[in-house]
Amino acid sequence: MNQTIRAMVRETHVGKDDFIYPLFVVPGNGVKKEVSSMPGVYQMSVDQIVRECAEVRALGIPAVIFFGIPEEKDEVGSGAYDDNGVVQQALRAVKKETPELLLITDVCLCEYTSHGHCGIVRGDEIVNDESVELLAREALTHAQAGADMVAPSDMFDGRVKAIRAMLDENGFQNLPIMSYAAKYASGFYGPFREAAESTPKFGDRRSHQMDPANVEEALREVAQDIQEGADIVMVKPATPYLDVLWRVKERFGMPTAAYNVSGEYSLVKAAARLGWVDGERVMMEMLTGIKRAGADLILTYFAKEAARYLDSHR
C-alpha cells in the first residue's frame, strides 16, 4: 500500500544510462523527415543530426548509434566505406559539437547496396568472406572519423575477428566492438526497413540471420563472437527474445545489449494512438522487462521519451 516502500524494494531500475538512441543519417541539408511507420523517428541530414545529438545528450542519454542512408547505392555498397560518407561526416560533426556523447556506428552494407543485402551478392548467394573484408574497411573509416565503438550487424561468419584485426593494425586497439551476436530473421524489423531504406530487392536474410525458434544456436553465435573479440554482445529483437537475453547473460556474464527494434516500438505507438493501451506505461513496462531479463544496454527508439518520463517521475 505504501508507494515509498514499493520503490525502495524495487529490484530492477531502468535508467537513462542504459539507453542507446538510434539515428538515421541522410544526405543533404536541413532534412528532417519523419518515418511514417515510426512516429517521432526521423531521417536527418548531418546538420540536423548535430542538433539532435546535443538534445539527446542534454536529456542525459549517454550514447547514440548511427545508421547511414547514402546519396547513391551500388552493388558493392561503396557509400559504407567512403571517408566522406554520411555516417563519417556525422561522426566528425557531432564529435566537434558534443564530444561527451558516445558515438556508436552500425557496420553493415544493406543500407548502401542497390540490392539491399548486407553483403556482396554473386548469383543469388550472399558471399561471406568478401563481404567481411568490406565490413572491416567500413569499421575502420568509422573509427578514423571519430566513432567510439563499432557495431557489426550483418551476422556473417568471422566479421568480428576481421574488424578487430583491421582496427588493431591501424592503431585502434582500444576501440570496442559491440556485436549483433544473436540476431534473428524477424518480422519486427519491418518499420526499420522504411527508415533505413534497406528492404532487399529479392530474397531475404534467412541465409545469415537466425531462426526465431532457436536458442542453443544463439548461444553458439554469441560464444563465437566473444572468442573473436566482441566486447559487448547483443540480442535482437528484444521483447520476443527475453529468454534468449536471459540465457546469454547467465551463460557468458558479458556486457549484454538488447535491441528494442522498430516493430516493437511501432506496435506500442499504433496501439496507443488507437487508445488501446497506455503508451507511456507500456513503454516503461517493456523497457523494465528487457532490463530485468539481463540487458545492461538497451538500443531503443523510446530513449528520448523514456528519459523525459524518468525525469518527471523521480
Q: Which residues bind Zn ion (CB under 5 A)?
A: 108, 110, 118
Strand, coil or helix: what is 44? Answer: strand
Least distance to Zn ion, CB of residue 128, Å: 13
Least distance to Zn ion, CB of residue 227, Å: 22
Residue 201's DSSP bridge partners are none
The rounded distance, in Å, linking the Cα atoms of 92 and 96 is 6
Q: Is 73 a catalytic residue?
A: no
Residue 178's DSSP bridge partners are 232
* Residue among 156, 148, 190, 195 at smallest CA distance from 172: 148
Task: Give whichever of 110 and 244 is closer to Zn ion, judged by the CB atom.
Answer: 110
Task: Give whichever of 118 and 195 is closer to Zn ion, judged by the CB atom.
Answer: 118
Task: Give whichever of 154 and 264 is closer to Zn ion, judged by the CB atom.
Answer: 154
Strand, coil or helix: what is 157? Answer: coil
Cell numbers that stand for 28 in this block: 543533404
- Cβ atoms of 85 and 142 within 8 Å: the answer is no
Q: How many CB atoms lie within 10 A of CB 308?
A: 14
Least distance to Zn ion, CB of residue 109, Å: 6
The rounded distance, in Å, linking the Cα atoms of 296 and 298 is 7
The rounded distance, in Å, linking the Cα atoms of 184 and 97 is 36
Cell numbers that stand for 182 in this block: 544473436
| Sole residue written with cell 564529435 | 95
Least distance to Zn ion, CB of residue 86, Å: 16
Least distance to Zn ion, CB of residue 3, Å: 45
Which DSSP category does 184 fall into?
A: B
Task: Give whichever of 93 and 110 is closer to Zn ion, judged by the CB atom.
Answer: 110
Task: Give whichever of 110 and 248 is closer to Zn ion, judged by the CB atom.
Answer: 110
Task: Give whichever of 110 and 303 is closer to Zn ion, judged by the CB atom.
Answer: 110
Phi first, then psi, for residue 193 (nearest 5°) are -60, -30
**Active-site option among 161, 183, 249, 291:** 183
Least distance to Zn ion, CB of residue 6, Å: 43
| Sole residue written with cell 517521432 | 40
**Active-site option among 236, 249, 291, 304:** 236
Q: Is 183 a catalytic residue?
A: yes
- Cβ atoms of 158 and 135 within 8 Å: the answer is no
Q: How many CB atoms lie within 10 A of CB 97?
A: 13
Question: Residue 12 is which amino acid?
Answer: T
Could you give the residue numbers annotated as active site? 183, 236
